[in-house]
Amino acid sequence: MTNPLPPRILATDAALALIAQLTDRHGPLMFHQSGGCCDGSAPMCFPRGEFKVGAQDVLLGHVGGEVPVWIGAAQFEYWRHTQMTIDIVPGRGAGMSLESPEGMRFIVRSRIFTDDENALLEAAGDPPRGNAIA
């Protein structure tokens, strides 16, 4: 029996509740982990397809069952050894992300993968990139 891969991306219950609310209002969503533009390095939430994913974007995984979370390849290299968790805090971000009018903003909390988790992830290879997703 093989060990399951640790997820690269998670979301807190509070973030999942806001994601569900935003999905009800806007339809299917997606996240892109910003690399410093606009709102620091915050996860930005968009209606799915509004942010054009390309070959330089890496799919970290999905939150809330079906909401994809992307990150730029250069940013991924910095974060590849960390498990990221999308959370929310009171306040407003830069305004490009869908949660801004709600008076909340998405943030990322992280932890370093253990040596065993890193070994599993490295053996599995890199996650898919935007150009590999149909």
HEC string for the chain? CCCCCCCCEEECHHHHHHHHHHHHHHCCEEEEECCECCCECCEEEEECCCCCCCCCEEEEEEECCCEEEEEEHHHHHHHCCEEEEEEEEECCCCCCCCCHHHCEEEEEEEEECCHHHHHHHHHHCCCCEHHHCC
Classify domain 9-124 at the CATH class level.
mainly beta
Q: What confidence score (pLDDT) does residue 134 get?
A: 47
Band (95; pLDDT cuts 50, 70, 90): low
Mean pLDDT score of the chain: 90
Q: What confidence score (pLDDT) does residue 39 get?
A: 53
Name the pTM for this structure.
Answer: 0.91
Q: What confidence score (pLDDT) does residue 92 get?
A: 78
